[in-house]
Structure 1
Amino acid sequence: MFTMGNVFEKLFKSLFGKKEMRILMVGLDAAGKTTILYKLKLGEIVTTIPTIGFNVETVEYKNISFTVWDVGGQDKIRPLWRHYFQNTQGLIFVVDSNDRERVNEAREELTRMLAEDELRDAVLLVFVNKQDLPNAMNAAEITDKLGLHSLRQRNWYIQATCATSGDGLYEGLDWLKSRKFGHGRKWGEESHCRGRL
Protein backbone atom coordinates (compact mmCIF):
# COMPACT_ATOMS: atom_id res chain seq x y z
CA MET A 1 0.00 0.00 0.00
CA PHE A 2 1.30 3.43 -0.97
CA THR A 3 1.12 6.10 1.75
CA MET A 4 2.81 9.41 2.46
CA GLY A 5 4.52 7.68 5.38
CA ASN A 6 6.13 5.22 2.97
CA VAL A 7 7.32 8.07 0.78
CA PHE A 8 8.95 9.87 3.72
CA GLU A 9 10.48 6.63 5.02
CA LYS A 10 12.07 5.89 1.64
CA LEU A 11 13.27 9.48 1.29
CA PHE A 12 14.77 9.43 4.80
CA LYS A 13 16.56 6.13 4.14
CA SER A 14 17.93 7.37 0.82
CA LEU A 15 19.27 10.53 2.44
CA PHE A 16 20.45 9.23 5.80
CA GLY A 17 20.46 5.45 5.66
CA LYS A 18 23.55 3.34 5.27
CA LYS A 19 24.65 2.94 1.67
CA GLU A 20 26.46 -0.07 0.26
CA MET A 21 29.01 -0.59 -2.49
CA ARG A 22 30.51 -3.83 -3.79
CA ILE A 23 34.23 -3.54 -4.54
CA LEU A 24 36.50 -6.04 -6.28
CA MET A 25 40.20 -5.55 -5.48
CA VAL A 26 42.67 -7.27 -7.78
CA GLY A 27 46.21 -6.86 -9.05
CA LEU A 28 49.32 -8.94 -9.52
CA ASP A 29 50.59 -11.06 -6.65
CA ALA A 30 52.54 -9.20 -3.95
CA ALA A 31 51.06 -5.81 -4.89
CA GLY A 32 49.74 -5.30 -1.36
CA LYS A 33 46.02 -6.04 -1.77
CA THR A 34 45.53 -7.97 1.46
CA THR A 35 47.60 -5.46 3.43
CA ILE A 36 45.36 -2.69 2.06
CA LEU A 37 42.19 -4.60 2.92
CA TYR A 38 43.14 -5.15 6.54
CA LYS A 39 44.60 -1.67 6.98
CA LEU A 40 41.18 -0.34 5.95
CA LYS A 41 39.26 -2.88 8.03
CA LEU A 42 41.35 -3.00 11.22
CA GLY A 43 43.52 0.10 10.97
CA GLU A 44 46.65 -1.95 11.47
CA ILE A 45 49.24 -3.93 9.56
CA VAL A 46 48.65 -7.66 9.57
CA THR A 47 51.04 -10.42 8.61
CA THR A 48 49.91 -11.79 5.26
CA ILE A 49 50.66 -14.79 3.12
CA PRO A 50 49.94 -15.04 -0.61
CA THR A 51 46.17 -15.17 -1.08
CA ILE A 52 44.99 -18.39 -2.66
CA GLY A 53 41.33 -17.72 -3.27
CA PHE A 54 39.90 -14.59 -1.67
CA ASN A 55 39.37 -12.51 1.46
CA VAL A 56 36.17 -10.52 1.91
CA GLU A 57 35.53 -7.83 4.50
CA THR A 58 33.07 -5.01 5.02
CA VAL A 59 34.75 -1.66 5.54
CA GLU A 60 32.56 1.00 7.17
CA TYR A 61 33.53 4.51 6.10
CA LYS A 62 31.51 7.74 6.09
CA ASN A 63 28.15 5.94 6.41
CA ILE A 64 28.96 3.58 3.54
CA SER A 65 29.50 -0.15 3.79
CA PHE A 66 32.16 -1.11 1.26
CA THR A 67 32.12 -4.87 0.76
CA VAL A 68 35.65 -5.48 -0.49
CA TRP A 69 36.59 -8.74 -2.22
CA ASP A 70 40.37 -9.18 -2.23
CA VAL A 71 41.20 -11.87 -4.79
CA GLY A 72 44.59 -13.56 -5.10
CA GLY A 73 46.86 -12.36 -7.88
CA GLN A 74 49.09 -15.32 -8.73
CA ASP A 75 49.10 -15.95 -12.48
CA LYS A 76 47.58 -19.42 -12.12
CA ILE A 77 44.50 -18.14 -10.33
CA ARG A 78 43.89 -14.92 -12.30
CA PRO A 79 41.45 -16.74 -14.64
CA LEU A 80 39.23 -17.12 -11.56
CA TRP A 81 38.87 -13.33 -11.22
CA ARG A 82 35.91 -13.40 -13.61
CA HIS A 83 33.87 -15.35 -11.05
CA TYR A 84 33.84 -12.21 -8.89
CA PHE A 85 32.80 -9.70 -11.58
CA GLN A 86 29.02 -9.93 -11.18
CA ASN A 87 27.46 -6.93 -9.40
CA THR A 88 30.83 -5.21 -8.97
CA GLN A 89 30.33 -1.46 -8.69
CA GLY A 90 33.93 -0.48 -8.13
CA LEU A 91 37.16 -2.10 -9.26
CA ILE A 92 40.34 -1.40 -7.28
CA PHE A 93 43.42 -2.40 -9.26
CA VAL A 94 46.51 -2.42 -7.05
CA VAL A 95 49.93 -1.89 -8.64
CA ASP A 96 53.26 -2.41 -6.90
CA SER A 97 54.91 0.86 -7.90
CA ASN A 98 58.34 -0.58 -7.14
CA ASP A 99 57.94 -3.56 -9.52
CA ARG A 100 59.14 -2.08 -12.80
CA GLU A 101 59.70 -5.51 -14.36
CA ARG A 102 56.02 -6.48 -14.19
CA VAL A 103 54.22 -3.23 -14.92
CA ASN A 104 53.51 -4.38 -18.50
CA GLU A 105 52.03 -7.60 -17.14
CA ALA A 106 49.83 -5.48 -14.86
CA ARG A 107 48.70 -3.44 -17.87
CA GLU A 108 47.78 -6.61 -19.80
CA GLU A 109 45.71 -7.95 -16.90
CA LEU A 110 43.94 -4.63 -16.39
CA THR A 111 43.18 -4.30 -20.11
CA ARG A 112 41.80 -7.84 -20.18
CA MET A 113 39.53 -7.14 -17.22
CA LEU A 114 38.21 -3.85 -18.52
CA ALA A 115 37.11 -5.60 -21.72
CA GLU A 116 34.74 -7.81 -19.70
CA ASP A 117 31.08 -6.96 -20.23
CA GLU A 118 30.21 -7.61 -16.58
CA LEU A 119 32.54 -4.78 -15.53
CA ARG A 120 31.35 -2.22 -18.08
CA ASP A 121 29.62 -0.06 -15.45
CA ALA A 122 32.23 -0.45 -12.70
CA VAL A 123 34.34 2.57 -11.85
CA LEU A 124 38.10 2.01 -11.75
CA LEU A 125 40.35 3.08 -8.90
CA VAL A 126 44.06 2.35 -9.33
CA PHE A 127 46.09 2.25 -6.14
CA VAL A 128 49.76 2.95 -6.90
CA ASN A 129 51.02 1.14 -3.83
CA LYS A 130 54.38 1.01 -2.01
CA GLN A 131 55.11 4.70 -2.48
CA ASP A 132 57.34 4.53 0.59
CA LEU A 133 60.00 2.63 -1.35
CA PRO A 134 62.86 4.73 -2.80
CA ASN A 135 62.58 3.54 -6.42
CA ALA A 136 58.79 3.60 -6.62
CA MET A 137 57.18 4.96 -9.78
CA ASN A 138 54.79 7.84 -9.13
CA ALA A 139 51.13 8.07 -10.13
CA ALA A 140 51.92 9.89 -13.40
CA GLU A 141 54.37 7.17 -14.49
CA ILE A 142 51.89 4.41 -13.68
CA THR A 143 49.12 6.30 -15.50
CA ASP A 144 51.30 6.29 -18.60
CA LYS A 145 52.50 2.70 -18.27
CA LEU A 146 48.95 1.36 -17.74
CA GLY A 147 47.63 3.43 -20.64
CA LEU A 148 44.88 4.96 -18.51
CA HIS A 149 44.54 8.07 -20.68
CA SER A 150 43.43 5.85 -23.56
CA LEU A 151 40.42 4.57 -21.60
CA ARG A 152 37.19 5.93 -23.00
CA GLN A 153 33.83 6.00 -21.28
CA ARG A 154 35.32 4.64 -18.08
CA ASN A 155 35.33 6.48 -14.77
CA TRP A 156 38.85 6.08 -13.42
CA TYR A 157 41.09 7.61 -10.80
CA ILE A 158 44.64 6.89 -9.74
CA GLN A 159 45.83 7.34 -6.18
CA ALA A 160 49.34 7.04 -4.75
CA THR A 161 49.23 4.84 -1.64
CA CYS A 162 51.29 3.21 1.06
CA ALA A 163 49.38 0.28 2.54
CA THR A 164 51.56 0.01 5.63
CA SER A 165 51.02 3.64 6.70
CA GLY A 166 47.54 3.96 5.21
CA ASP A 167 48.49 7.02 3.16
CA GLY A 168 46.15 7.54 0.21
CA LEU A 169 43.74 4.71 1.03
CA TYR A 170 40.88 6.81 2.36
CA GLU A 171 41.28 9.32 -0.46
CA GLY A 172 40.57 6.38 -2.75
CA LEU A 173 37.44 5.45 -0.80
CA ASP A 174 36.32 9.09 -0.95
CA TRP A 175 36.59 8.98 -4.73
CA LEU A 176 34.61 5.72 -4.90
CA LYS A 177 31.96 7.24 -2.65
CA SER A 178 31.74 10.36 -4.80
CA ARG A 179 31.36 8.34 -8.00
CA LYS A 180 28.64 6.10 -6.59
CA PHE A 181 26.70 8.50 -4.37
CA GLY A 182 27.61 12.03 -5.35
CA HIS A 183 29.03 14.33 -7.93
CA GLY A 184 32.73 13.57 -7.98
CA ARG A 185 35.46 13.89 -10.53
CA LYS A 186 34.72 13.02 -14.11
CA TRP A 187 36.32 10.04 -15.78
CA GLY A 188 39.99 10.13 -16.51
CA GLU A 189 41.41 12.10 -13.62
CA GLU A 190 44.59 11.51 -11.71
CA SER A 191 45.28 12.17 -8.08
CA HIS A 192 47.07 15.37 -7.37
CA CYS A 193 49.73 13.74 -5.21
CA ARG A 194 53.03 15.44 -5.72
CA GLY A 195 55.66 12.77 -6.14
CA ARG A 196 55.87 10.38 -3.25
CA LEU A 197 53.73 10.44 -0.15
Structure 2
Amino acid sequence: MGQIQDKLSRINVKKKVKVFMAGNPSSGRTTILYKWKNQKVDYYQHTPGFNVERIVHNQVEFEMWDGGGGQIIRNMWVDQMQGVEALIAVVDSSDLKQDQYYFQEQIQRLLARLPQNNIPFLILANKKDKFQASQQEIEQYVGIEKFKSQIQYKVIYTNPFSGEGLIEALDWLSQRFR
Protein backbone atom coordinates (compact mmCIF):
# COMPACT_ATOMS: atom_id res chain seq x y z
CA MET A 1 0.00 0.00 0.00
CA GLY A 2 2.82 2.41 0.85
CA GLN A 3 4.42 1.87 -2.56
CA ILE A 4 1.16 2.69 -4.37
CA GLN A 5 0.71 5.85 -2.32
CA ASP A 6 4.34 6.82 -3.02
CA LYS A 7 3.82 6.38 -6.79
CA LEU A 8 0.56 8.34 -6.72
CA SER A 9 2.20 11.24 -4.87
CA ARG A 10 4.83 11.48 -7.62
CA ILE A 11 2.22 11.97 -10.37
CA ASN A 12 1.76 15.66 -9.54
CA VAL A 13 5.43 16.43 -9.00
CA LYS A 14 6.38 19.67 -10.72
CA LYS A 15 10.00 19.94 -9.59
CA LYS A 16 12.72 17.51 -8.50
CA VAL A 17 15.39 18.81 -6.14
CA LYS A 18 18.54 17.19 -4.74
CA VAL A 19 19.12 18.14 -1.10
CA PHE A 20 22.11 17.30 1.08
CA MET A 21 21.61 16.85 4.84
CA ALA A 22 24.66 17.44 7.01
CA GLY A 23 25.09 17.14 10.75
CA ASN A 24 27.29 15.88 13.53
CA PRO A 25 26.96 12.32 14.82
CA SER A 26 23.73 11.82 16.79
CA SER A 27 22.29 15.16 15.67
CA GLY A 28 19.13 13.40 14.45
CA ARG A 29 19.53 13.67 10.65
CA THR A 30 18.49 10.10 9.96
CA THR A 31 15.60 10.19 12.44
CA ILE A 32 14.25 13.33 10.73
CA LEU A 33 14.73 11.82 7.26
CA TYR A 34 12.75 8.70 8.11
CA LYS A 35 10.07 10.63 9.98
CA TRP A 36 9.53 12.56 6.73
CA LYS A 37 9.60 9.34 4.70
CA ASN A 38 7.60 6.94 6.88
CA GLN A 39 5.66 9.30 9.17
CA LYS A 40 7.07 7.46 12.18
CA VAL A 41 10.19 7.46 14.30
CA ASP A 42 12.29 4.38 14.71
CA TYR A 43 15.61 4.19 16.47
CA TYR A 44 18.45 4.17 14.00
CA GLN A 45 22.02 3.07 14.24
CA HIS A 46 24.84 5.50 13.55
CA THR A 47 24.80 6.17 9.78
CA PRO A 48 27.98 4.56 8.43
CA GLY A 49 27.73 6.09 4.95
CA PHE A 50 24.84 7.76 3.15
CA ASN A 51 21.08 7.30 3.17
CA VAL A 52 19.14 8.48 0.13
CA GLU A 53 15.35 8.82 0.19
CA ARG A 54 12.73 10.55 -1.93
CA ILE A 55 10.27 12.79 -0.10
CA VAL A 56 7.36 14.41 -1.97
CA HIS A 57 5.90 17.56 -0.43
CA ASN A 58 3.80 20.31 -2.05
CA GLN A 59 4.44 18.99 -5.58
CA VAL A 60 8.21 19.00 -5.05
CA GLU A 61 10.15 15.73 -4.99
CA PHE A 62 13.18 16.00 -2.76
CA GLU A 63 16.01 13.52 -3.23
CA MET A 64 17.40 13.72 0.30
CA TRP A 65 21.03 12.70 0.82
CA ASP A 66 21.76 12.05 4.50
CA GLY A 67 25.53 12.11 4.98
CA GLY A 68 26.80 10.17 7.98
CA GLY A 69 28.25 12.38 10.70
CA GLY A 70 31.52 10.55 11.39
CA GLN A 71 34.74 12.35 10.45
CA ILE A 72 35.74 9.83 7.77
CA ILE A 73 32.36 10.10 6.03
CA ARG A 74 32.32 13.91 6.41
CA ASN A 75 35.42 14.07 4.25
CA MET A 76 33.36 12.39 1.50
CA TRP A 77 30.41 14.80 1.75
CA VAL A 78 31.76 17.11 -0.94
CA ASP A 79 31.88 14.18 -3.39
CA GLN A 80 28.07 14.01 -3.27
CA MET A 81 27.47 17.70 -4.05
CA GLN A 82 26.98 17.43 -7.81
CA GLY A 83 23.46 18.64 -8.60
CA VAL A 84 22.63 19.72 -5.04
CA GLU A 85 20.20 22.64 -4.99
CA ALA A 86 19.58 22.97 -1.24
CA LEU A 87 21.41 22.20 1.98
CA ILE A 88 20.06 21.17 5.38
CA ALA A 89 22.22 21.33 8.50
CA VAL A 90 20.86 19.38 11.45
CA VAL A 91 22.18 20.68 14.75
CA ASP A 92 21.70 19.01 18.12
CA SER A 93 20.48 22.10 19.98
CA SER A 94 21.24 20.36 23.29
CA ASP A 95 24.94 19.89 22.46
CA LEU A 96 26.45 22.96 20.78
CA LYS A 97 29.98 22.14 21.88
CA GLN A 98 30.32 19.06 19.65
CA ASP A 99 32.94 19.59 16.90
CA GLN A 100 31.84 23.16 16.21
CA TYR A 101 34.85 24.32 14.21
CA TYR A 102 35.16 21.11 12.21
CA PHE A 103 31.42 21.27 11.46
CA GLN A 104 31.69 24.90 10.29
CA GLU A 105 34.62 23.97 8.07
CA GLN A 106 32.61 21.13 6.49
CA ILE A 107 29.60 23.39 5.86
CA GLN A 108 31.86 25.97 4.21
CA ARG A 109 33.38 23.25 2.00
CA LEU A 110 29.89 22.11 0.96
CA LEU A 111 28.77 25.64 0.12
CA ALA A 112 31.93 26.26 -1.87
CA ARG A 113 31.06 23.27 -4.09
CA LEU A 114 27.63 24.59 -5.00
CA PRO A 115 27.48 26.32 -8.38
CA GLN A 116 24.99 29.04 -7.51
CA ASN A 117 24.58 31.69 -4.85
CA ASN A 118 21.45 32.27 -2.82
CA ILE A 119 20.76 28.58 -2.29
CA PRO A 120 18.21 27.52 0.32
CA PHE A 121 20.00 26.56 3.53
CA LEU A 122 17.75 25.13 6.21
CA ILE A 123 19.09 24.80 9.73
CA LEU A 124 17.15 22.35 11.84
CA ALA A 125 17.77 23.00 15.54
CA ASN A 126 16.89 19.48 16.59
CA LYS A 127 16.12 17.96 19.99
CA LYS A 128 14.09 20.96 21.05
CA ASP A 129 12.52 18.77 23.73
CA LYS A 130 15.88 18.44 25.53
CA PHE A 131 17.11 22.01 25.33
CA GLN A 132 16.42 24.98 23.14
CA ALA A 133 19.50 27.05 22.39
CA SER A 134 18.72 30.55 21.13
CA GLN A 135 18.62 31.25 17.40
CA GLN A 136 21.73 33.40 17.81
CA GLU A 137 23.58 30.50 19.47
CA ILE A 138 22.51 28.14 16.66
CA GLU A 139 23.63 30.63 13.97
CA GLN A 140 26.94 31.13 15.74
CA TYR A 141 27.45 27.35 16.01
CA VAL A 142 26.87 26.88 12.27
CA GLY A 143 28.95 29.97 11.43
CA ILE A 144 26.30 31.72 9.33
CA GLU A 145 28.15 35.05 9.28
CA LYS A 146 30.91 33.54 7.14
CA PHE A 147 28.58 32.74 4.23
CA LYS A 148 25.40 34.74 4.82
CA SER A 149 25.68 36.46 1.41
CA GLN A 150 25.66 33.07 -0.40
CA ILE A 151 22.44 31.70 1.06
CA GLN A 152 18.82 32.24 1.95
CA TYR A 153 18.46 30.54 5.30
CA LYS A 154 16.00 29.76 8.03
CA VAL A 155 16.39 28.22 11.47
CA ILE A 156 13.56 25.90 12.50
CA TYR A 157 13.37 24.13 15.86
CA THR A 158 12.43 20.47 15.52
CA ASN A 159 11.49 17.42 17.52
CA PRO A 160 11.05 14.35 15.33
CA PHE A 161 9.27 12.41 18.10
CA SER A 162 6.41 14.92 18.27
CA GLY A 163 6.85 16.03 14.64
CA GLU A 164 7.23 19.65 15.72
CA GLY A 165 8.82 21.82 13.02
CA LEU A 166 9.16 19.08 10.40
CA ILE A 167 6.24 20.07 8.16
CA GLU A 168 7.22 23.73 8.56
CA ALA A 169 10.71 22.79 7.35
CA LEU A 170 9.41 21.00 4.24
CA ASP A 171 6.98 23.86 3.59
CA TRP A 172 9.80 26.42 3.69
CA LEU A 173 12.02 24.30 1.46
CA SER A 174 9.32 23.51 -1.10
CA GLN A 175 8.37 27.20 -1.36
CA ARG A 176 11.89 27.92 -2.63
CA PHE A 177 11.27 25.65 -5.64
CA ARG A 178 7.72 26.33 -6.77
Structure 1 length as normaliser, TM-score?
Answer: 0.76
Query: Whose RCO is larger (CA < 8 A, sep 6+)?
Result: 2
Q: Choose which of 146, 169, 173 in structure 1 pairs with 2:170.
A: 173
Q: What runs of 5+ residues in structure 2 fail to find an aligned partner?
A: 1-11
Moved more, 41-50 or 146-155: 146-155
Partner SS for 1:144: helix
CA RMSD of aligned residues (A): 1.9
What's the offset of the Cα at 1:96? 0.7
Take 1:156 and 1:85, find their aligned partners in 2: how far apart are those partners? 18
Tell whether the 8 Å contact from 2:84 to 2:114 is kept in structure 1 after alignment: no
Aligned to 2:68: 72
Q: 2:22 aligns with which of 13, 23, 26?
A: 26
Output aligned runs, 1:1-197, within 5 Å: 18-102=14-98, 103-118=100-115, 120=117, 122-133=119-130, 135-150=131-146, 151-181=148-178
In our comparison, the structure showing a higher alpha carbon Rg is 1
CA contact (8 A) 2:57 2:174 kept: no
Shift of the 88–101 alpha-carbon distance from structure 1 to 2, 3 Å rule, reads same
Partner SS for 2:105: helix
Q: Provide the rounded CA distance (Å) in 1 between the counterparts of 2:22 and 2:84.
A: 12
3-state SS of 1:58 partner = strand
Mapped to 2, the partners of 1:50 and 1:172 lie a distance apart of 23
% of aligned pairs identical?
35
Question: Structure 2 CA distance, aligned partners of 1:165 and 1:130?
Answer: 10
TM-score, structure 2 length as denominator?
A: 0.83
**Cα distance in structure 1, aligned partners of 2:53 and 2:15:** 16
**Structure-2 separation of matches of 1:126 and 1:50:** 20
Structure 1 CA distance for aligned equivalents of residues 114 and 174 of structure 2 = 23
Aligned residues: 165
Q: Deviations over 1:3-47 (max 9, x none)?
A: xxxxxxxxxxxxx65322111111111110100000001110012
Structure with the larger strand share: 2
Take 2:129 and 2:37, find their aligned partners in 1: how far apart are those partners? 21
Change (3 A) 1:104 1:113: same
